[in-house]
Structure 1
Amino acid sequence: MTSTTNVTSILDRARDRVLVQGERLGYDDLVEVLQTGDDQLEDLLALAHEVRLKYNGEEIEVEGIISLKTGGCPEDCHFCSQSGLFSSPVRSVWLNIPELVRAAQQTAATGATEFCIVAAVRGPDDKLMTQMRDGVNAIQEAVDIQVAASLGMLTQAQVDDLVDMGVHRYNHNLEAAESYFPQVVTTHSYEERLSTCQMVKDSGMELCCGGLVGMGESLEQRAELASQLGALEPHEVPLNFLNPRPGTPFGDLPMMDSKDALRTIAAFRLALPRTILRYAGGRELTLGDLGTRDGLLGGINAVIVGNYLTTLGRDPRQDLELLDDLQMPIKALNATL
Structure 2
Amino acid sequence: MTSAPEKTSLDAVGADVLRVAREQVLERGEGLAEAQLLEVLRLGDEHLTDLLALAHDVRMRWCGPEVEVEGIISLKTGGCPEDCHFCSQSGRFPTPVRSAWLDIPGLVKAARQTAETGATEFCIVAAVRGPDKRLLTQVREGVKAIRADGNDIQIACSLGMLTQEQVDDLVDMGVHRYNHNLETARSHFPNVVTTHTWEERWETLRMIREAGMEVCCGGIIGMGETVEQRAEFAAQLAELNPDECTMNFLIPQPGTPYEHYEIVEGKDALRTVAAFRLAMPRPLIRFSGGRELTFGDLGTKQGMLGGINAIIVGNYLTNLGRSADQDLEMLKDLKMPVKALSDSL
For Structure 1 versus Structure 2, the TM-score category normalised by the shorter chain is: over 0.9
Name 1:112's counterpart in structure 2. 119
2:65 is the alignment partner of 1:58: yes
Name 1:261's counterpart in structure 2. 269
Match of 1:237 among 232, 237, 245: 245
Paired residue secondary structure (1:65): strand
Letter in 2 for 1:49: H
Name 2:76's counterpart in structure 1. 69
Paired residue secondary structure (1:3): helix
Which whole-Å CA distance do the structure 2 matches of 1:169 and 1:274 have between them?
17
CA offsets, 1:121-155, max 9 Å, x none?
00000000100100011112211200000000000
Name 1:159's counterpart in structure 2. 167
Residues 160-179 of structure 1 aligned to structure 2 (within 5 Å)? 160-179=168-187
Alpha-carbon shift at residue 102 of structure 1 (Å): 0.2
Q: Which runs of 4+ in 1 moved over 3 A?
A: none
Which whole-Å CA distance do the structure 1 matches of 2:88 and 2:142 have between them?
25
CA offsets, 1:168-214, max 9 Å, x none?
00000000100000000000000000000000000000000001001
Alpha-carbon shift at residue 19 of structure 1 (Å): 1.5
2:202 is the alignment partner of 1:194: yes
Name 1:297's counterpart in structure 2. 305
Which whole-Å CA distance do the structure 2 matches of 1:51 and 1:95 have between them?
40
Which whole-Å CA distance do the structure 1 matches of 2:326 and 2:39 have between them?
34
CA offsets, 1:266-291, max 9 Å, x none?
00000010000000000000000000
Gaps of 5+ in 1: none
Conserved in 1, the CA contact under 8 Å of 2:120 and 2:339? yes
Deviation larger for 241-250 or 19-28: 19-28
Name 1:317's counterpart in structure 2. 325
Alpha-carbon shift at residue 316 of structure 1 (Å): 1.0
Q: Give the number of equivalent residue pairs.
A: 337
Residues 1-337 of structure 1 aligned to structure 2 (within 5 Å)? 3-142=10-149, 143-337=151-345
**Identity percentage over the alignment?**
65
Paired residue secondary structure (1:292): helix
Alpha-carbon shift at residue 231 of structure 1 (Å): 0.4
Alpha-carbon shift at residue 20 of structure 1 (Å): 1.9
Letter in 1 for 2:44: G
Which whole-Å CA distance do the structure 2 matches of 1:20 and 1:329 have between them?
24
Alpha-carbon shift at residue 334 of structure 1 (Å): 1.8
Which whole-Å CA distance do the structure 1 matches of 2:152 and 2:170 have between them?
18
Paired residue secondary structure (1:229): helix
Which whole-Å CA distance do the structure 2 matches of 1:326 and 1:238 have between them?
21
Paired residue secondary structure (1:278): strand
Paired residue secondary structure (1:303): strand
CA offsets, 1:97-117, max 9 Å, x none?
000000000000100001000
Alpha-carbon shift at residue 21 of structure 1 (Å): 2.2
Paired residue secondary structure (1:47): helix
Letter in 1 for 2:280: L
